[in-house]
Amino acid sequence: MRDLDALLNSMVNVDRASLVAILSAEAEAAQRLVNSARQRTASQRAKRNEAMKRAARIEQILSFFKHGDVGPEMPEADVMLCKSLEDRLRVRGQ
């Protein structure tokens, strides 16, 4: 899986529709990983928990770009990341 922060920061010449499509694909991939993860060992449970956190984070970021929603549980770092990307989209006239 790609580093989500690096992915979002690398998006320079992307429009909002493409951004939403990319984030939707990432959310689907994260959810597939959650659904396929086994839970027999502590290591497997930890990997599944990480996948669940990633899926939830992507969904929060996706909600921001689809609806402008900032959830109460969204970390401040993610809010700042989203607003920064939003500003770049605005500057490009999207």
List pLDDT tens digits, range 38-61. 888 999 889 899 989 999 999 999
Q: 80 falls in which pLDDT band (50, 70, 90)? A: very high
pLDDT digits (tens, 9 = 90+) for 6-24: 888 787 778 889 899 999 9
Beta carbons within 10 angstroms of residue 28's beta carbon: 12
Q: What is the reported pLDDT for 92?
A: 66
Q: What is the reported pLDDT for 52?
A: 92
- Which of these, 92, 90, 88, 66, lies nearest to 9 by C-alpha position? 88
- Which of these, 25, 22, 14, lies nearest to 85 by C-alpha position? 14
Q: 5 falls in which pLDDT band (50, 70, 90)? A: confident
Return the structure tokens found at 57. 């984070």
| C-alpha to C-alpha distances, 6 to 32, 55, 91, nearest whole angstrom | 21, 16, 20
Tell me which of 77 and 4 has the higher pLDDT: 77
Q: How far apart are CA 6 and CA 27, in angstroms?
A: 16
